[in-house]
Amino acid sequence: MKDVLTPSADGDAEPDRSAEPSLVFSSKRRVPHIRQTESSECGLACIAMLLSYYGHETSLGELRNRFTVSTSGATLASLIEIADANGLTTRPLRLELYELPKLSLPCMVHLHHGHFVVLTAVRGGHVHISDPATGVKKIKLDEFDELFSGIALEAHPGPAFKKIKS
């Protein structure tokens, strides 16, 4: 993987060369699919999916009430802040398509045109994603290559993470 990205003061992500090895969590749990209700809520819906996957059951509405997302959508920096406020430790990365299998899954990936999805598996020449706009999909790697911006956000429970059943 090329770079760990660090949010800068203007909300963009800057490379941070002090990357640590990826933490891998393996389980048979499924990522719950959460649909976005507004076009600008894909990132927030992805955070809700990851939180729920790790046992902090939350809804998009709950996150929307606690965090403000602009009408143009969330930045990577704002998603990192929201994840951190909910006890997730994150690692933003810039990578090539062939490096996707090295990611700690599930994780968020950024697609062109400012859209975020949750990547749940990479196998058999396909990626499996949970797209908050259109649903759960299996996409051929060469087709995904046309969509993928090269940015991923790994997230896992940190020291402040609390499991919550709704």
DSSP, collapsed to helix, strand or coil, labels residue 152 as strand
**Structural domain boundaries of the chain?**
3-12+31-157
Q: What is the pTM of this model?
A: 0.84
What are residue 148's phi and psi, to 5 degrees? Answer: -75, 130
The CATH number corresponding to 3-12+31-157 among 3.90.70.10, 1.10.3720.10, 3.30.420.40, 3.40.50.300 equals 3.90.70.10
| Cα–Cα dist 93/16, whole Å | 9
Among 6-15, 73-82, 124-133, the least confident range = 6-15
Q: Does the annotation count 42 as an active-site position?
A: yes
Q: pLDDT digit string (tens) for 72-88?
A: 999 999 999 999 999 99
Q: Which of these is catalytic: 31, 42, 88, 155?
A: 42
